[in-house]
Amino acid sequence: MKYTSIFFQYVAQYMKTRLTYRVDMVIEILSDLLFQAVNLIFILIVFGHTQLLGGWSRDEIIFIYGFFLVPFAIFGAFFNIWDFNERYIVKGEMDRILTRPIHSLFQIILERMELESLFGVFTGIGVMLYSASQLGLSFSWYDPFVFVVLVLGGVFVYAGIFVLLASISFWSDSPTSIMPMMYNIGNYGRYPVDIYNNVIRFVLTWILPFAFVGVYPSAYFLGREDWYGYAFLTPVMGLLFFGISVLVWNVGVTKYRGAGN
């Protein structure tokens, strides 16, 4: 209960600061939109030259991309911790966090919120609805609920990987550029993983399970029955990875010694 009220207080505060600089917020949303459009244009141009991509049609690939945008937007809004090392470890901000009586990770998530990313949820749903109508997909009454569960699974997979990476900072405080690298690897999950070689597919499924953020859950809505097993594993993988990452984080915090003084 305490956590919920703290959360909403932070959100309210965030809205206030954001609304003071409205132009900033609009430009940021527009540049997000531009980024999403560029990826879409890429897909459209590629399919100007081919009919199928490893057995997947243009509209199916667009659907996967649309799905990917939804968990990615939620992840971007709440787990914007790519500069954790620099900000909290090197600059010593972690000291301040640890004196507060709420969980350190929760506190950092609240501080680094970027709610305007959530706009990507609408883009993603729009893209999905468009391609679903092109593909003539039909949905059952329970599909929206499945969608929410799979999206949350994807968010937790993403969050788990990034929290794990941030935790590394507790053991080694030298700055690393692993974070941007992970953003790039995350992009692999936007395309059907069967176009990659088996090693990459294995890594994307079990080690850095980015495939669970895009292609696997989408397979459920696209009716690719041979991939249903993977699709339904999404929430399991999400909880598993996020659970492990919180455990590692908790151990890491005990190793934290503070910077400099």
Partner 1 sequence: MAKYIEMIRVRFLMMLAYRTNYYSGILIYSINIGAYYFLWTAIYGDKGSIEGMSVGQMTTYVAISWMARAFYFNNIDREIAQEIKEGKVAVEFIRPYHYLLMKMMQGLGEGIFRLSFFSVPGMLIVALIFPITFSVDVTTWLSFALAIIFSFIINTQINLLTGVLTFFFFNNAGLIQAKRVVIDLFSGLLIPISFFPMWAQDAMGFFPFQAISYIPSMIFTESFTGNEVMESLIFQGVWALLLIIPIQVLWVIAKKQLTVQGG
**Does residue 185 bind partner 1 (CB under 8 A)?**
yes
CA distance 187 to 193: 11
| Closer to partner 1 by Cβ: residue 29 or 149 | 29
Looking at 45, 101, 260, 261, which residue binds partner 1 (CB under 8 A)? 45
Please state the closest distance from residue 172 (CB atom) to partner 1, in A: 11
Interaction between residue 177 and partner 1 (CB under 8 A): yes
Residue whose C-alpha is closest to residue 71's, from 151, 162, 125, 128:
151
Give the orientation angle of helix 119-135 with respect to helix 22-46, to 10 degrees. Answer: 30
Closest CA relative to residue 185, chosen from 169, 165, 202, 200: 200
Among 3, 9, 15, 35, binds partner 1 (CB under 8 A): 35
Nearer to partner 1, 5 or 184 (CB): 184
46 binds partner 1 (CB under 8 A): yes
If one asks whether residue 30 binds partner 1 (CB under 8 A), the answer comes out as: yes
Question: Based on C-alpha coordinates, what's the Rg of the chain?
Answer: 19
Q: Are 245 and 251 in contact (CB under 8 A)?
A: no
Tokens of 134: 């092109």
Residue 50 is a binding residue for partner 1 (CB under 8 A): yes
Alpha carbon distance 12, 88 (integer Å): 24
Nearest to 153 by CA among 77, 237, 73, 215: 237
Question: Please, which residue, 56 or 156, has the CB nearer to partner 1?
Answer: 56
- Interactions with partner 1, residue window 186-215 (CB under 8 A): 187-188, 191, 195-197, 200
Question: Which sign does the torsion angle of CA 111, 174, 243, 148 carry?
Answer: positive
Total residues interacting with partner 1, rule: CB under 8 A: 36
Q: How far is CA 103 from each of CA 13, 79, 133, rounded to the nearest angstrom?
A: 19, 15, 44
Q: Which of 92, 126, 144, 175 binds partner 1 (CB under 8 A)?
A: 175
Choices 10-18, 68-76, 82-90, 172-180 (CB under 8 A): range interacting with partner 1: 172-180
Q: Which of 7, 10, 28, 57 binds partner 1 (CB under 8 A)?
A: 28
Can you give the binding site for partner 1, defined by CB under 8 A? 21, 23-24, 27-28, 30-31, 34-35, 38, 41-42, 45-46, 48-50, 52-54, 174-178, 180-181, 184-185, 187-188, 191, 195-197, 200
